[in-house]
Amino acid sequence: GQNIDQPTEMTATEGAIVQINCTYQTSGFNGLFWYQQHAGEAPTFLSYNVLDGLEEKGRFSSFLSRSKGYSYLLLKELQMKDSASYLCAVPYGQNFVFGPGTRLSVLP
Amino acid sequence: DTEVTQTPKHLVMGMTNKKSLKCEQHMGHRAMYWYKQKAKKPPELMFVYSYEKLSINESVPSRFSPECPNSSLLNLHLHALQPEDSALYLCASSQDSPDTGELFFGEGSRLTVL
């Protein structure tokens, strides 16, 4: 089975940097996804890591360590619109198993 | 076209009604999904269709009945629902199995059961 854990809530200030962690225990590993979900909207794809290391995409970066079962999403130069839930997810068979999600609040 | 389109966006129904949620994608994806999401919770898988065949049913009550008329369309038929079934229902699609690529989500259908 799959077990994924994330902090429930985080708060940060506009312009700052925030790191959202995700730990996972899986039987088999086929990569890890990060999704952003604004309240009442659908999740949107942010990043995919299958190899160890850092993937950078604009203000967002995602890191993976397969040996530690650990990933993080790094958000730089935070903007108010970054207030959302951030979900890490791992594919498992024909399913995506989502973590509980981290609700990020960006304050002015 | 990289969209998954869901209709209706909002639905209010009584416990004796019969209604349907519809989902459409034109990306040539061969896997389509229904997820249920309650407030402040992650999406929970309900059904997976792979190549138009039901491949996963996550022990969903029979008052939810999925249908895949063709590779672009996915329906969720609703009958005799309970108030606790009120949630955001998300449709998603992927190229093939999830380990080959990301899920693309529709905007969801927000269902309220009175």
- The confidence score (pLDDT) of residue B46 equals 95
Return the SS3 of A18.
Answer: strand
- The confidence score (pLDDT) of residue B98 equals 66
pLDDT tens string B51-91: 999 988 888 999 999 999 999 999 999 999 999 999 999 99
- The confidence score (pLDDT) of residue A62 equals 97
pLDDT in tens, chain A (108 residues): 678 999 999 999 999 999 999 999 988 888 999 999 999 888 999 999 999 999 999 999 999 999 999 999 999 999 999 999 999 999 888 788 899 999 999 999
A30 with B99: Cβ contact below 8 A: yes
pLDDT tens string B3-56: 999 999 999 999 889 999 999 999 999 999 999 999 989 999 999 999 999 988
A30 with B108: Cβ contact below 8 A: no
* B104 neighbors A45 (Cβ within 8 angstroms): yes
A38 contacts in B (CB within 8 Å)? none
Phi-psi region of A93 (alpha: psi -120 to 50; beta: other; left: phi over 0): left
Cα B51 to its chain centre, rounded Å, is 16
Query: For the stretch A25-61, what's the b/e string if a residue is b when 16 or more beta carbons lie within 10 angstroms of its beta carbon?
Result: ebeebebbbbbbbeeeebbeebbbbeeeeeeeeeebb
> What number of other Cβ atoms are within 10 A of residue A104's Cβ?
21
Check pLDDT > 70 for residue B2: no
B97 contacts in A (CB within 8 Å)? 91, 93-94
Q: Tell me which of A29, A95, A97 to substitute to probe the interface with B (most B C-beta atoms closer than 10 Å).
A: A95
- The confidence score (pLDDT) of residue A93 equals 80
- The confidence score (pLDDT) of residue B25 equals 96
Q: Name the closest residue on chain B to residue A40, using Cα atoms.
A: B88
Check pLDDT > 80 for residue B1: no
* A94–B contact, CB cutoff 8 A: yes
Which residues pair with residue A24 across a beta bridge? Answer: A4
Distance CA B36, CA A71 (A): 25
- The confidence score (pLDDT) of residue A30 equals 83
